[in-house]
Structure 1
């Protein structure tokens, strides 16, 4: 293998590593919900799509970037809270397969609602992040991918600290370990589940913006959940 072939292999590996870290943004949503409720949320990809579509559609209608971000955040928090209240709370103590099928059906509902509200066209999303590659030792690295990976890593670190060093984080872990024991010591599971789904909505917003800027805001965004 020549020196240039070696550099190419390293460049591909670095690019794959950075992309993998971006996929972790979607995986965070999975982990948040599964660790506290045991639900494998197949609708997380649809939530990512809905967040990206909402934000880019607001921006295209002339709403300032910061205000559009705030509105989208509120929409995703409300969506996560509504899902927990209306879909999953009535299914408490049902079989894992029942819960999985509920989130599968939910993913189609969210995508259908997004199509009805925002349409099916592909949107470009510019977050103002420079995507000019820079060279390190002969290896080209995408500025956008590096920044996105940094954001994902910061979220993972922040959530880890949250779970291990905050009172509500410890409550989440207690629920994940044993829901009946958590109930016995007075933890309010509905409040915890509502908080987790709200947080999952925020994670979907961050993932939707970054992946939408990378790939364009299109309905195939919901499929990244299969790779995460």
Structure 2
């Protein structure tokens, strides 16, 4: 393999691995939107809260496994609390009302985290060395490979869950037609509570991976902004779309930064995905795999 081709492959692989982590964050949005039609802007705050809880426990001497189990319990409780205390009383309200409610929840969670743990930056070590390894002449970060493997496993588990379990099939039924699902005897409050719990678990995994990469700090909640172009490209109600769009966004960012950055200027990696998403909205507003809504008048 020539040096130029090896470098191209290296940049592309790095972008794809980052894209898997973007997809993991986006899936947290998809889970909620798919079953209840709510764009959960609190997902970033939940991600931050999970990372802060975990790192605070480990800094106090709690073993990794114990801290993970305890944080998992906290995120399950947090998801249930948000659903029961905030979203359930607002059922059947306009989407903008629900969106503003999740935005308010995000600020409440961040404020509570600041009161509990302060604003200092915490290092999070998952025990994975970030040194590159040589794979067929292509150097790839060990941590990126680990993070992509964990995110990929999480995505696979969720996909199997939705396809083959009774609860997963109930989620899909509610997503397809809530009224029909209700008429068949499905208990929507239980399903909504379960999907918020699942969203909390996804936030935990994403929070640990992104916290280990960027450090656990309050700007970590802004990772959700990286998920927005992924959602636009893939569709707000498609897990498969989140995966494919995450890979696309990751690859576009890295390739643009390396090959267009020297001509346009630095920082292109931070905004090129939004340009791509805006252009895609004009062509296919529902996303690659999103369901087009049809209204009869």
Return the offset for 1:27: 1.1
1:115-172 superposed Cα distances (whole Å, 9 cap, x missing partner): 1101100000111122221012321101111111111111111111111111111110
* Separation of aligned partners in 2, 1:16 and 1:102: 34
Give runs of aligned pairs for residues 57-206 of structure 1, distance below 5 A: 57-206=56-205
The SS at the match of 1:140 is strand
Question: 2: distance between equivalents of 1:73 and 1:137?
Answer: 38
Distance 1:208 1:178 in 2: 32
1:213, CA displacement in angstroms? 0.7
CA positional deviation for 1:37: 0.6
Deviation at 1:42, TM superposition (A): 0.6
Root-mean-square deviation over aligned CA pairs: 1.2
**What is the CA deviation profile of residues 56-115 of structure 1, one whole-angstrom value per residue up to 9, with x for unaligned ones?**
011111122211111111111000000000000001011111111111111111111111
Counterpart check, 1:224 vs 2:223: yes
Residue 265 of structure 2 is matched in structure 1 by: none
Query: What CA distance in whole angstroms lies between the structure 2 residues aligned with 1:193 and 1:107?
Result: 19
| 2:8 corresponds to | 9
Q: Equivalent residue for 1:51? A: 50
5+ residue gaps, structure 1, are none
What is the CA distance between 1:5 and its match in structure 2? 3.1
Indicate the structure whose relative CO is greater, using CA pairs within 8 Å and at least 6 residues apart: 1
- So what's the TM-score if we normalise by structure 1? 0.96
- Taking the aligned partners of 1:94 and 1:5, their CA distance within structure 2 comes to 55
Looking at structure 2, the residues matched to 66 and 172 of structure 1 have their Cα atoms a distance apart, in angstroms, of 30
Q: Give the TM-score, by structure 2 length.
A: 0.74
Runs of 4+ residues over 6 Å off in structure 1: none
Report how far residue 175 of structure 1 moved: 0.4
